[in-house]
Structure 1
Amino acid sequence: MLAQIKRLGADSLLYAFMNVGTKLIAFIMLPIYTNFLPPEKYGVLGLIDNWTSMLTFLIIFGTDSALAFFYFDTKDKEKRLEYVRNVMYFRLFIVFLLALIVLIAGPWISQVLLKDANYVNLLYISIATLFVDSVTIVVLMVMRFDFITKKVVVYTILKMLLMAIFSYLFLKYFITTAEGILLGRLLGFGIVFLLLFPSSLKYLKPKINFSSLKEILKYAAPLVPASLAFWVIANASTFFLQAFHSTKEVGIYLAATRLATIITLLTSGVQMAWRPYSMSIKDKKDSPLLFSKIYLGLLVLGIFGIMAIATIMPYLIVILGKDYYHAYQYVAIVSAATFLNFYYLIISAGLFFTKKTTAISVTFGIVAVVNTVLNIVLIPEFSIWGAVASYLIAYMVANVFIFRKSQQAYFVPVSFGKMAILFVSMIAAVVAIIYVQEKDLNWLYIIAAWLFVILTVVVSRIDKDFRRRS
């Protein structure tokens, strides 16, 4: 048992290193991209990335979770191999269908998506990248299942690193457009594909069991709506911005959202550790009280993290280049939504303990509709602020519903009203800070905003909650 615990700890540390490493590479590349690409061109890249994200969702179709279930459900090596082949060929079949559609209707899709049929080459490159990455992802997923953790970490970081290096080289010496980045990405992913190709040969043997494939798809299909909902909430606003305004607004909004992921450097480690930790202690007598302290502690940490982002952003945003300066005003609010995207995983503990996770899928399905309606209503009038508000409101609604459902399943003695007041007070203070920065008012007003939040925390007496013993 001790050996298993040590392996879990070692693997968790390696995956945490991988997670932070890939995020840091993406964060470092952001100012490189924005200094080479003006907002219009960066907006094109963002739209292609969101298009690729949507296609990736279609290709995966919930088969990652399904393969994990069936792979560990059998000890038969041949049966495991059969499941992996079925998933591999299902994904490649979807890639083939998508490639066919792009070959036939590429210029029309480019015109609708990017308002320019001449960008069709970007669609071709994205499909080619999806092909090589689809094979790579399946191979790495099986390595993860077989606990070959070091190789997973090395190849994942190598893939991101090669993508970054080649994208930079293409931008600097060959093509100063989104096409340069996409070609660099294809080359980087392609090299990792070639390195993993010997390992993938056994999964590419043309031998499909349609009975097993049916099992996999039957398991996977119910997971698809939740994945689609997450995609809509995260990405739909960019397409509405493109439709109602311009690619320039898309570029500025995406630069802000990418920079807002700085908050995940604080939350990603907790996110990876939370599920096994919470599951391991859920049946202990004092666990609900401990969870209440964790809920409040993480919320307060997030609140002051977002406040700090709002305060420093006008100085940090300069790394993106002068064309993106005004993106600073959106970053803190998007960071708040990004934090809520993490926080719902914490406060939904009761739903996982009692196997009532369907409530999460239903909630995000409803919230995706709410988000879409808000985008349609707010973006035409308020442009980027409409997209930002839609994103934040969507995750606020999701957290409220999920917390209520989780409390019904597994009660944690924590005040919803107190948490809501703390979060809303922070949002009000962040809006005030942004207003002061936009109007170039005295910096003492920013200190006043901080004092307001600190006073709210003090008055709420969360110190009593942390000292509570029963």
Structure 2
Amino acid sequence: MEGINIFDELQFPKKLRMSEKSFLSNLVKDSAIYGITKYVSVIAAIFLTPIYTRIIPRFDYGIMDVFNVWIAFCALLIPLGMIEAMPRLWVDIHENTDTKKRIIGSYNLLLLIGIVVFLGVSLLGKTTFEKVILGSENYETVYYLCVSLIVFQILNNQQLTYFRLGFRRLAYTAVSLGNFFILTVLGFSLVYFKKMSIEGFFWASFFAFLFSLIVSIPLNRSFILLSFHKKTIVEIVRYSLPLLYVILFFSVSEVLDRYIIKRFLSTEHIGLYSVAARIASIPLFFTSSFATAWFPRIFSIKEDNRRKEVLIETNKLALHVFSYILFTVVLFRKELIFFFAPDYFDALNVVLILSLANVINGLGPIYAVGIHLKKTSGDFVKAAFISIPVNIVLSVLLVREFGIEGVAFGSLFGAFLWTFLRYRMGQKRLEIEFNFHPVIYLVIFLIFATLLSQYLDLSLWVFLSKLAIGILLMAWLWHSLKHNKNELV
């Protein structure tokens, strides 16, 4: 089974050599575009969640959550980390057609095998899943829809990755937003007007992902090929599996955080922590958009003699922007809690701590470039093995004294250690003299925002004053970034 290419010729975009100025400009554009669907999804969730919770019975809503968790877990597990590994593997392709066929073909073959195995297990394990997990046999249609959705979501993630690798922002945005609008509009119509409950939601998801694949696969037709190369398959799995392990480790860590709260505090405190975590996840919309754009861009200049300068300037840019995002969330945390969950003001300090943890985590992809370039992804497993146990132990030690703030402090220290270890290991693979002077701004902004938010009450004039401060700081940041951009010419 050697080089089965369905189309005659691969049409990969040519590798671009770019200056730091154009690199940062494209990085910002990519981050903004990749973030559009995330921001729109948040707005839709704010609108749809109260409607769904009023229409869908509580038991059905719980079943829907179980299916959603199952879909997310399987879509993560089945590709074995290969989708996350593709941006790095892309570096080895260059413009060599034989290498493209070998890597992309082997990658597609592995993914296809994983999907076939999953389908077989799903068909054989249906009854067990219904009895053990659901406790009901009344959701047969939903079960088969979710099996289809897992396959569709894996393939959709694959297609979106190809768009990212080719820097095809328009295609990425069109497919993502098309999926989102079909899911939102059709889902609302089937649940609200047709009274189809969770079955309507999953039918909407089915058609939304089907649309995405119908549009994206022809656009990525040059990637439709299969090939079997044992050495390449071993190389792909060796690099991708550690990435999967790390993702799974951190997923387990989040579950353990909740267990610690339940064990030492109460179920009500889990709800309090969860609300705080949701509000503190606002920086994640920006950091995850940055990470989505970052890897294809930085790997595209792997051979560029000035890649170190690019990394240094990107770090400076990220520290400035992420500091401002953190400042804004912390400054307006009272208003955010009042808007989303007015009965949860006890979560004020947790929002602060977890927001800082998320920003620190968001810087990690910059410092880990050396690990990716040298394909030593096992370093991530080592870092996770150290940082996650430290996180858990600290949470257990601090929860008795500080309550949920203690668990949040454990997460914060774990995030710092996780990022620091990636930095140290990355430096061993690719030594770069990063400039950390902007951290001073981060500390000053954080202290200032914390004091203002902590001691000023909720009122219109306070809100307007905070808004004015935020706008002034934004103007300063914009001026600083423009000055920084001009220096790169």
1:293 to 1:384, Cα distance in 2 relative to 1, 3 A:
same
| Amino acid across the alignment from 2:36 | G
The answer to which of 126-135 and 343-352 deviates more is: 343-352
- Structure 1 unaligned spans of 5+: 455-470
Measure the CA separation in 2 of the matches of 1:295 and 1:203.
33
- Who is 1:55 aligned against? 74
195, 218, 227: which is aligned to 2:244?
227
Q: Normalization by structure 1: what TM-score?
A: 0.69
RMSD of aligned Cα (Å): 5.3
107, 112, 129: which is aligned to 1:89?
112
Please give the residue correspondences for 1:66-465 in structure 2 after superposition, counting only pairs within 5 Å: 69=89, 72=93, 75-76=97-98, 82-83=105-106, 85-100=108-123, 102-107=125-130, 109-110=132-133, 125-142=145-162, 150-173=170-193, 181-195=201-215, 211-212=228-229, 215-234=232-251, 236-238=253-255, 241=258, 245=262, 253-264=273-284, 266-267=286-287, 271=291, 272-273=293-294, 276=297, 283=305, 295=315, 298-320=318-340, 330-349=350-369, 351=371, 358-373=378-393, 385=405, 388-408=408-428, 409-412=430-433, 414=435, 436=455
| Amino acid across the alignment from 1:230 | I
1:161 to 1:439, Cα distance in 2 relative to 1, 3 A:
closer
Residue 29 of structure 1 pairs with residue 48 of structure 2: no
Measure the CA separation in 2 of the matches of 1:283 and 1:139.
31
SS of 2:38's partner is: helix
- Who is 2:4 aligned against? none
Cα distance, 1:108 vs structure 2: 5.4
Cα distance, 1:313 vs structure 2: 2.6
Would the aligned equivalents of 2:152 and 2:210 in 1 still touch at CA under 8 Å? yes
Question: Percent same amino acid at aligned positions?
Answer: 15
SS of 1:131's partner is: helix
Greater relative contact order structure (CA < 8 Å, 6+ sep): 2
Would the aligned equivalents of 2:399 and 2:405 in 1 still touch at CA under 8 Å? yes
Measure the CA separation in 2 of the matches of 1:44 and 1:383.
31
Cα distance, 1:22 vs structure 2: 1.1
1:403 to 1:12, Cα distance in 2 relative to 1, 3 A:
closer
Measure the CA separation in 2 of the matches of 1:281 and 1:78.
22
Measure the CA separation in 1 of the matches of 2:149 and 2:424.
42
Measure the CA separation in 1 of the matches of 2:347 and 2:53.
13
The answer to which of 18-27 and 146-155 deviates more is: 146-155
Would the aligned equivalents of 2:164 and 2:296 in 1 still touch at CA under 8 Å? no
Measure the CA separation in 2 of the matches of 1:269 and 1:347.
17
Which structure dedicates a bigger proportion of its chain to helix?
1
| Amino acid across the alignment from 1:28 | I
Residue deviations 1:406-430 (CA, integer Å, cap 9, x gap): 4454141646xx7777766766666
Measure the CA separation in 2 of the matches of 1:384 and 1:100.
42
Would the aligned equivalents of 2:239 and 2:376 in 1 still touch at CA under 8 Å? no
Q: What count of residue pairs does the alignment treat as equivalent?
A: 440
Would the aligned equivalents of 2:256 and 2:392 in 1 still touch at CA under 8 Å? no
| Amino acid across the alignment from 1:186 | F
- Who is 1:462 aligned against? none
Would the aligned equivalents of 1:241 and 1:379 in 2 still touch at CA under 8 Å? no
- Who is 1:466 aligned against? none
Cα distance, 1:148 vs structure 2: 6.0
Cα distance, 1:4 vs structure 2: 6.0
